[in-house]
Amino acid sequence: MGKTNGKSEVAPRELDLEHELPSSEDTEESVAAGSAATATPVAEVSPLEAELQKLKAERDTLLDRLARLQAEFENARKRAAREQQEFRDYATVDAIKAMLPIVDSLERALRAPATEASEFRGGVELIYKQLQDALAKLGVRTIPAQGEPFDPRYHEAIEMVETTEAKDHHVLEELQRGYKFKDRLLRPAMVRVAKNPGK
């Protein structure tokens, strides 16, 4: 180290680096870094909004799917309830069919001429009425036949009878009563049908 004018000169290598002022290049780099640091939060807002929109779309899709599944479940529940009701309605058909011959026998007994055994006839009439009431509660209805126009859906013609006492193609006589269970035909009425070309 040399001395000049009583003052010592410091070599460039001996400068205190900690107290050295930054160069203009360093200043520009630090300003740019500060700007980037400041701009970073602004740049993050857009991806957050995009993520939020994506989540909302997924939520809407899931809600729509849930609504569809709820509707399908409700339809399936109603269909099952309807099928159960139909099963209950028709589960008694065989039992009803088994009772019909009893009704037939009672009807034949009631058509027999009155005898001195009026009490017996009264008992049969009571049983017949009770049985008809029970069938009516189950939903069984008789099919009108006597004097009605012949209907192949509900009447089974056993015989065509030429007569002038009834209209043409009308039921002249009911041989066996027909029955319906609600809207379902259990058995047709067996009938004789009038053949009267003049009427």
pLDDT value of position 80 = 93
Residues 80 and 96 in one domain: no
Please report where in the chains the tokens 């599944």 appear, as a residue: 69
Residues 154 and 113 in one domain: no
pLDDT value of position 154 = 94
Tell which of 101, 117, 138 closes a domain: 138
Laid out side by side, the sheet with 171-176 consists of 155-162, 189-195, 171-176
pLDDT value of position 152 = 93
Residues 75 and 117 in one domain: no
Residues 78 and 97 in one domain: no
User: Sign (positive/negative) of CA torsion 87, 89, 92, 94?
Assistant: negative
Which residues make beta-bridge pairs with 190?
Answer: 156, 176
Q: Domain range for residue 47?
A: 35-91
Q: The CATH number of the domain where 144 resides is what?
A: 2.30.22.10
Residues 55 and 98 in one domain: no
Instruction: Report which residue type is found at 102.
Output: I
**Is 99 within the bounds of a domain?**
yes
Write out pLDDT tens, residues 88-121: 777 778 778 878 888 888 887 777 776 666 777 7
Token pair in block for residue 16: 């205190």
pLDDT value of position 73 = 94
Count of domains in the chain?
Answer: 3
